[in-house]
Amino acid sequence: MKASDKAFAKINISLDIVSKMDDGYHNMLTVMQSVGLFDEIMIECTHGEGVDIDSDLQYIPGDERNIAVKAALAFFAYTGIKGFRTQIAIKKNIPVCAGLGGGSADGACVFMMLDRMFETGLGAADLRKLGGSIGSDVPFCMKGGTMLARGRGDDLSELPGLPRCYLVICKPPFSFSTPELFKLIRCERIRARPDTEGIVEALGKGDLCSVARRMYNVFEDVLPRGERDIADIKNALLDGGALGAVMTGSGSAVFGLFDDRIKAGKAYEELGAGYADCFLCETI
Ligand code: C5P
């Protein structure tokens, strides 16, 4: 049995942290959007046992630390299916440690593909439970589109889609550690927050400018280093005509939202001259 599919990246249009939970995780309020930047996943299941993974990026873990392997193991444990050797091949296009949900997208894609290949017909509740057990962003990546995420990031409500626009995504050559950034957050000391309610309202009206004006990511207030690059990329995007620019997730990728294809293309070319990880795409 063989199949292939695309695993789409996500961006956080807004990211707010409401409170710290007793288990150490944080209560989020974030508007998430899938974008047309994707990894390519191939899966082959033959008789045998175990899960192998092969990726074109050498530093991606090839064992159970890889979220795609975790997803396959969780799928077989949950469904009780035995007697198959699963080979996963991933062509990475989404930069890693970027806040673009690359690992979560791969894990989500593996779940959905195995569910189809083995015709297990897992329902939304099963998939959310399975996805949430391997990563907070996995349930969103399974659904895609435009969603308001609460709780760990896995309590999802569908939102009206972002009006058609162009995204320039740029990742500087360093990353932030997600758990370390969360540790730096003191909810009571957060100075500026995104206007999530306003974003939801603007999405309802299909008003891209209003969405862009209200975007914000509270992690931007606690960046330990590389702050300059994040600010420089944001400024370059805004100078290039972006309606708004913000860091996605725990970074370090930044995106700018454009309503004009020509301006977006120019900003992409200019930033691409200085940063290897630069992408021009649309929402999906
Ligand atoms: O769930 P995931 O593995 O993506 O989370 C990575 C880390 O980010 C967690 O170990 C936790 O430290 C932090 N986190 C958090 N609150 C969330 C999501 C993640 O504190 N809602």
Answer yes or no: is pLDDT of 56 > 90: no
The catalytic residue positions are 10, 137
Q: Is residue 121 lining ligand 1, measured as CB closer than 6 Å?
A: no
Q: Is residue 152 lining ligand 1, measured as CB closer than 6 Å?
A: yes
> Tens digit of pLDDT for each residue in 204-252?
999 999 999 999 999 999 998 666 899 999 999 999 999 999 999 999 9
Would you state the pLDDT for residue 226?
A: 62
Would you state the pLDDT for residue 114?
A: 97
* R_g of the chain computed on alpha carbons: 19
Which of 10, 20, 25 most suits a substitution to test ligand 1, by most atoms within 8 Å of the C-beta?
25
- Map out the domains of the chain with their CATH numbers: 2-158 (3.30.230.10), 166-282 (3.30.70.890)
Could you tell me what percentage of the chain is helix, strand and coil, using 3-state DSSP and rounding each to the nearest 5?
35, 30, 35
Query: Could you tell me the distance, in angstroms and rounded to a whole number, from the CA of residue 26 to the centre of ligand 1?
Result: 7
* Measured distance CA(45)–CA(86) in Å, rounded: 5
Q: Which of 232, 191, 192 is nearest to 215 (CA)?
A: 192
Average pLDDT over residues 118-123: 94
Q: Lowest-confidence range among 68-82, 116-130, 217-231, 255-269?
A: 217-231
Average pLDDT, the chain: 95
* Measured distance CA(71)–CA(9) in Å, rounded: 17
Average pLDDT over residues 243-267: 97
Residue 264 corresponds to which tokens in the numbers above? 């977006």
Would you state the pLDDT for residue 69?
A: 96
* Measured distance CA(37)–CA(167) in Å, rounded: 10
Alpha carbon nearest to ligand 1 atom 13, residue? 179
Alpha carbon nearest to ligand 1 atom 3, residue? 135
Answer yes or no: is pLDDT of 59 > 80: no
> Tens digit of pLDDT for each residue in 63-92?
888 999 999 999 999 999 999 999 999 999
* Measured distance CA(94)–CA(37) in Å, rounded: 6
> Tens digit of pLDDT for each residue in 155-171?
999 999 999 999 999 99
Average pLDDT over residues 184-198: 94
Instruction: Using a pLDDT cut of 70, give the percent of the chain over it.
Output: 99
Q: Lowest-confidence range among 132-136, 174-178, 208-212, 223-227?
A: 223-227
